[in-house]
């Protein structure tokens, strides 16, 4: 799978603050890529460098096969939702989108059609003639998402796209992003809503203090293909029997949380489902009461563990 966006040892400093200290990551084409990190980790700086808003001090950024961001050469191929960018208060939603659509290379007619369609998709069709100053915070966010999706760009970079949205609109946007991916778009999303990213993304990078802590397919980063967690109810906890039944794997019993963690070696003929089946048989035979089964760690847990 080729990379739609690649950062190699990218560094950026703002005075005494070193925002990026050699960030390295690769966004595979056709994926939804989550960028995860605490506040000040460098996520927005990375987004801004990818879009050419900020100049990197060192390192290389490659975007859709081009070295660095050249808006004229990448015209219409990249959509961006910048964080905290304001739209002119007196501008009408449709005028704003149509203008940006034309700047993206669309004809006047195409731009107006696209603007209407995107407003419909983000639930703002009834506000197409409204001035921006009359929109709520959530509506402004959706308008900004709409501009990022104008012209169906190959690569869409979304910095906190669902921040401040109600659950319904956040869900609708996630559906929109998933549809974009199915249609061949690559999306890179930064968010603090980790369950949202976990549900949406197939690749992820955990960053902290300007460095990449972990990156790759989300199953690999969260250990979904390497660990299984089984939560037990009150009653027996046959850890020794389980360890004996799975001699090639590591079984750890967390008594406090009543959690049986099984770390297994990845192999083509042995998947997580096989391990779960074997473990459940042993546990049920030993009279254990199963309260829950989960593959790997949650993204949130992995994030807390690493940062």
Partner 1 sequence: MSPFVRDVGLVARFELGEAIRSRMLVVMTLLFVGAGALGAWGFTEVLGTVEENAAKVMGNAPPPSRGSTLKQMTRSRSYRDMLRVFTRDDKKADYFASLPPIVVFFGWASFTFVPWLVLLTASESIAGEVATRSIRFSVVRTGRLPFALGKMVGQAVVVAGMMVLTAATFFVVAWIRLAGFEPGATALGLFSYAPRVLLYVMPFLAWAMFASMITGNPQVARSISLGGAVALNILRGLGKIPALQGPALDPIWDFLKLLTPFGHNEGLLYPPGGALMADVAVCLMLTVLYFGGGFAMLRRRDL
Site residues (vs partner 1, CB under 8 A):
48, 51-55, 69-72, 75-76, 78, 80, 82, 84-92, 95, 99-100, 102-105, 131, 147
Decide whether 95 or 172 has the Cβ nearer to partner 1.
95
Give the shortest CB-90-to-partner 1 separation in angstroms. 4
Virtual torsion, Cα 221, 222, 225, 229, nearest 10 deg: 160
- Which of 235, 255, 211, 249 is closest to 45 using CA atoms? 211
CB atoms within 10 A of CB 8: 14
Decide whether 13 or 21 has the Cβ nearer to partner 1.
13
Decide whether 48 or 222 has the Cβ nearer to partner 1.
48
* Under 8 Å between Cβ of 151 and 121: no
Decide whether 106 or 194 has the Cβ nearer to partner 1.
106
For residues 164 and 158, give the distance between their C-alpha atoms in angstroms, rounded to a whole number: 14
Q: How many residues does the chain have?
A: 307
Decide whether 80 or 230 has the Cβ nearer to partner 1.
80
- Which of 97, 126, 92 is closest to 110 using CA atoms? 97
For residues 62 and 237, give the distance between their C-alpha atoms in angstroms, rounded to a whole number: 51
For residues 4 and 25, give the distance between their C-alpha atoms in angstroms, rounded to a whole number: 11
CB within 8 A of 274, min separation 6: which ones?
none
Give the shortest CB-48-to-partner 1 separation in angstroms. 8
Give the shortest CB-51-to-partner 1 separation in angstroms. 5
Give the shortest CB-78-to-partner 1 separation in angstroms. 7
Give the shortest CB-262-to-partner 1 separation in angstroms. 47
Decide whether 186 or 222 has the Cβ nearer to partner 1.
186
Give the shortest CB-166-to-partner 1 separation in angstroms. 24
Decide whether 85 or 304 has the Cβ nearer to partner 1.
85
For residues 241 and 62, give the distance between their C-alpha atoms in angstroms, rounded to a whole number: 52
Give the shortest CB-71-to-partner 1 separation in angstroms. 6
Decide whether 55 or 250 has the Cβ nearer to partner 1.
55
Q: What Cα–Cα distance (Å) separates residue 232 from each residue in 46, 154, 242, 257, 274?
A: 42, 46, 13, 9, 19
- Which of 53, 49, 57, 39 is closest to 6 using CA atoms? 49
Give the shortest CB-193-to-partner 1 separation in angstroms. 23
């Amino acid at each position: 799978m080729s990379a739609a966006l690649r950062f190699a040892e990218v560094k950026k400093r703002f005075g005494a603050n070193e925002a990026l200290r050699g960030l390295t990551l690769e966004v595979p084409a056709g994926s939804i890529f989550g960028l995860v990190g605490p506040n000040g980790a460098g996520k927005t700086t990375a987004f801004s460098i990818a879009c050419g808003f900020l100049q990197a001090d060192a390192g290389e950024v490659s975007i859709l096969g081009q070295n660095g961001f050249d808006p004229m050469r990448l015209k219409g191929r990249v959509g961006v939702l910048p964080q905290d960018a304001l739209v002119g208060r007196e501008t009408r939603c449709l005028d704003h989108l149509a203008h940006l659509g034309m700047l993206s290379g669309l004809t006047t007619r195409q731009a107006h059609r696209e603007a209407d369609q995107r407003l419909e998709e983000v639930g703002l069709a009834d506000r197409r003639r409204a001035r921006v100053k009359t929109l709520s915070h959530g509506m402004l966010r959706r308008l900004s998402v709409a501009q990022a999706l104008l012209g169906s760009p190959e690569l869409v970079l979304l910095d906190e796209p669902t921040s401040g949205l109600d659950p319904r609109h956040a869900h609708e946007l996630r559906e929109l992003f998933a549809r974009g991916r199915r249609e061949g778009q690559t999306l890179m999303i930064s968010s603090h809503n980790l369950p949202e990213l976990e549900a949406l993304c197939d690749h992820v990078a955990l960053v902290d203090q300007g460095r990449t802590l972990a990156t790759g397919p989300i199953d690999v980063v969260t250990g979904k293909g390497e660990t299984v967690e089984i939560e037990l109810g009150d009653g027996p906890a046959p850890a020794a029997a389980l360890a004996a039944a799975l001699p090639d794997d590591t079984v750890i019993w967390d008594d406090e949380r009543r959690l049986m963690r099984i770390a297994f070696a990845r192999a083509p003929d042995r998947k997580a489902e096989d391990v779960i089946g074997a473990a459940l048989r042993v546990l049920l035979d030993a009279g254990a009461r199963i309260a829950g089964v989960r593959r790997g760690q949650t993204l949130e847990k992995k994030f807390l563990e690493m940062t």
